[in-house]
A and B are shown apart, each in its own frame.
Chain A
Amino acid sequence: MINMLQLIKNFFTGLGNIFRKPRTVVYPREKIIIPEKSRGMLHLKLDLDSLDVLCNGCGTCVSICPEGAIKIKKKTLEEGKQVLDRFRLDLGRCIFCGKCVEACELEAIGLSYRYQNADNHRKDLVMEKADLIRPSGTIRGFWK
């Protein structure tokens, strides 16, 4: 009636498990390396020669965002070139879907690996252009 062989196997499985390393990760002290295609906070890519943002403020990402989290203000320089003046992302509304990245024709924005974005007040969640250009956001091993 009671399957003795299975009980003995269970007993030794349990006994063996004590000497193995546990499979849980104690989060704030140890972290795991997050996977490659993870979607974190937005980041603005920089042109490598002039160290200026690639974005020219066309506004495609504003119209495609389902939540309306991006707000852009652009200005025109003397030569007639259009550059970005202000880029504001409301993290409280962003759902990290990545449609803005797909829609951008210049490939000027991307989703970085920054996932520890919690804060105490809602107004601190509004990110301006300077907050979005952190270089550490794209290094996978940094967010460990």
Chain B
Amino acid sequence: MIKAHKITQPAAVSLSKTPTGIKGLDEITGGGLPQGRPTLVCGGTGCGKTLLAMEFLVRGATQFDEPGVFMSFEEKFGELSKNFKSLGFDLNELVNQNRIAIDYVHIEPSEIEEAGEYDLEGLIIRLGYAIDAIGAKRVALDTIEVLFSGLTNENILRSELRRLFRFLKDKGVTAIITGEQGERTFTRFGLEEYVADCVIFLNHTVDHQVATRRLRIVKYRGSAHGTNEYPFLIDQQGFSIMPLSSLGLDHPASTERISTGIARLDAMLDGKGYYRGSSILVTGTAGTGKSSLAAHFVDAACRRGERCLYFAFEESQKQIIRNMRSIGIDLGQWIDQGLLQFQNSRTTIYGLEMHLVVMHRMIEDFKPDIVVVDPISNLVAAASKAEVKSMLSRMIDYLKIKQITAFCTDLTATGGTLDQNSTDISSLMDTWLLLQVLETSGERNRGLYLLKSRGMPHSNQVREFILSDSGAQLRDVYIGSGLVLTGSSRVAQEAHDKALALECQQEIERKQREIERKKTLIEAQIIALRTQFELEKEDLDRLISREQLRVETFAFDNLAMSNLRQADEQIEGLTDQGVPL
């Protein structure tokens, strides 16, 4: 009973949050930073602390109508305004409109002499005045740790900092306090001791000469939050954090089918093509036509009026358009119509996570139906295999949630096992096409296999993949007597087969003619025999009748003769009348 009572607690009052307006951060934090409380943002040099703090204020002022005070301990107003101008924030204007107040606190240790007890009331008064002057709801202190180098009495500082944070809470402002990363602690001077509500850690690592920025929410008192390290990007639009790692596996599954752009390939896939929102992987060695398959797919999609985003890591946009024109596909027209957009970049220009963020943002902006990544194997240049796999799985999860069909090509290293792709991501893919070079009789021909296609019956046969000036075509390869033939040997074999078949046909016809001839012959013989028989029969009949006549004549003659001789005795064999018996 007692236990039960303990468990039943009043419904927790949900923590009110202040939206930051920063892309992705509100998703990870579940709505923003704790309202009316300070948040500590810490990290190493150049990790973007100041930017995060400033963007929080600028977005607050511009998007949420919440004025903010930026207290800078490091940079002067002029420097700040210049730095942020390049990120598209016009601080001067915001300051003139009283939506942002910037107070530069200058501390020069050599100018300051400490003589006795003091407090930081001056700082608090300044801050309080600035907050009241513009009715600020947001405050950023960047970075308050400078105080530790300017003032020597740490005891006073610590108690005063505690007072400062209490003051901020009392004021009800949502604050961001930045702090430099310490060797073992989050901040060099242990600021996390005072700011206990929310701590955000920014990380900037360089791996294989490629830098990646990451953000992690170390703690968020009274709120659930994403706990992973999230990659983020700083560019002309400020901060972008991608909350991809928090995506689950509960994406929708469409039953709509979309054409591959190649009729025979559609036929191999149950006659209908890929599923919308599925992920398609094309692997193959160099020059097997992976990009051509992609181009066909893109072309077909654009014909349906769908939007395509093409991430090319190997070729420039113009090069792709030129090359695809050679197989009869004009991608240029879709670009002109705004249905197709290329994003061409080398994979090594930034880290993998950054690629992910860039792709994420472009997808958010362009809202494509189809995304092509050509090729994903190049991403390995920017990171390790495991990282690529994790990145791609997040990418694919994201695309699936958005119901965007993903078409990825993957270059298999020559000599490697063909179904062993460089990034080991085949398990993530729904449809897997393998393009293989079949090398026979001094020729290299392309073969297309359908290794898998989830959720649909599909052909298990290899097809010859031919690139012609009217596009890619699939042909049946010659399979027979233990041989798989492609290319000219297939053509030769086919001709050979044709000749063989023709020969057979002729033989049959010949035999049939022979039968006819024999039949005719026999029939003729029958007629001849019958004719002969008739003739002989006629002769014999004639002979028979003649003999009979002769017999009759002879009997008559005998009778006549005996009559003449008046013979009284009966002639043997004759009746009384003299006629034979």
A complexed with B: no
Which residues from chain A sit less than 8 Å from chain B, CB to CB?
none
